[in-house]
Amino acid sequence: MTDAHVHLRDWNQSHKETVLHGMLTGALAGFDVFFDMPNTNPPVTDRKTAEKRLELGISAEKELGKLGHDVHYHLYLGITPCAGQIAEMVKAYKDLFPRVCGLKMFASQSTGNMGIIGKERQLEIYRSLTELGYTGVLAVHCEKEEFFRPDETRHSDRRPSESEEASVRDQIENAENTGFRGTLHIAHISTKGALDAVREARRCGLVKITCGATPHHILLNRDSETDLIKMNPPLRPESDRLAVWNALFDGTVDWVESDHAPHTMDEKRGGASGLPGFEGMLLTIKALRDAGMPESRLNELFCTNALKAFGINEKSSPVPQVNDAMIDAARRAYPFSAWK
């Protein structure tokens, strides 16, 4: 299976996890293709760091190959507001594809402080990418900070549903207005409003657009929110969760992505956002299968659709029968389970 959205840490965050450990755990859960996000420490926002990160991924592939796991590592490059940096990243993408699978933009601050805040500043990114002839995937973390309510006590109230819909609409407008020729990917979509915005954009047909949903936004609503079960975007009201669930069946959601993002227990207690993700992927497969989803659709959501959208010609093993031993193996690999 393919996981098109993981944060494998390592480097200055090796105490959270290493690339090797993350891919091993993913492999035990049945995943063989991983797309790693660039908000690492140091971040993957220059060519040299990207090449170092690829070396690390490739050496983890080799180590896991010795254990009989045929896994494949791919990397997103991070976008900053600097025009020269964007040109460097587009060139690196062209040179290093498919190892480099696409670009990532954070439209709000999250782990790593890579946020590009404001619709106007984001417009400049689309303009640059279009001028540079970028035709790959631009994955965007969509939350609009103007809609944040920092005085609220609950995390999910501080970053409400409206902030996601507004940011998704900004991205679509910016992409349409600049004639963006790549694929706009809405990462971890979590609200009915954002799903409707994606549907409208597809009807309009001016921009290629995909979206991914995470296990936590598919299976949990904000009643489950605690210090440990906390992430960005946050858990949503049940009406949003249900909209995401239904969008897996009606074809609006293109793939399920774990947003695997481990921390230590102490960091979680200190407020860090993010959860380990492979266990949730298995629980999601089980829930969707139990609800009658056909195997062909499961294979699209967990294996083929992401590879197709990125234009990566790689084989991904099919969705396995999920048994308790697999879920336990994924669960045991981390200091806490989000799902208990």
| 3-state helix/strand/coil string of the chain | CEEEEECCCECCECCCCCHHHHHHHHHHCCCCEEEECCCCCCCCCCHHHHHHHHHHHHHHHHHHHHCCCCCEEEEEEECCCCHHHHHHHHHHHHHHCCCEEEEEEECCCCCCCCECCCHHHHHHHHHHHHHCCCCCEEEEECCCHHHCCCCCCCHHHHCCHHHHHHHHHHHHHHHHHHCCCCEEEECCCCCHHHHHHHHHHHHHCCCEEEEEECHHHHHCCHHHCCCCCCCCCCCCCHHHHHHHHHHHHHCCCCEECCCECCCCHHHHHCCCCCECCHHHHHHHHHHHHHCCCCHHHHHHHHHHHHHHHHCCCCCCCCCCCCCHHHHHHHHHCCCCCCCC
- The window from 223-231, 236-244, 254-262, 298-306 that contacts Zn ion (CB under 5 A) reads 254-262
Return the number of the residue (326 or 334) whose C-beta is nearest Zn ion: 334
Residue 74 C-beta: closest distance to Zn ion, Å = 15
- Asked if 32 is part of the footprint of Zn ion (rule: CB under 5 A), the reply reads no
Measured from the CB atom, the residue of 29 and 275 that comes closer to Zn ion is 275
Provide the minimum distance between the beta carbon of 294 and Zn ion in the complex, in angstroms, as a whole number: 28
- Contact segment (CB under 5 A) with Zn ion among 151-159, 204-212, 257-265, 296-304 equals 257-265
Q: Which residue is nearest to Zn ion (CB)?
A: 259
Nearer to Zn ion, 63 or 267 (CB): 267
Nearer to Zn ion, 34 or 322 (CB): 34
Q: Residue 36 interacts with Zn ion (CB under 5 A)?
A: no
> Of 240 and 259, which has the nearer Cβ to Zn ion?
259
CB of 290 to Zn ion, least distance (A): 27
Give the residue, chosen from 3, 165, 173, 259, that forms a contact with Zn ion under the rule CB under 5 A: 259
Interface with Zn ion by CB under 5 A: which range of 177-185, 221-229, 252-260, 285-293?
A: 252-260
Asked whether position 164 contacts Zn ion by CB under 5 A, the answer is no
170 forms part of the interface with Zn ion (CB under 5 A): no
Q: Does 17 bind Zn ion (CB under 5 A)?
A: no
Binding stretches for Zn ion (CB under 5 A): 259
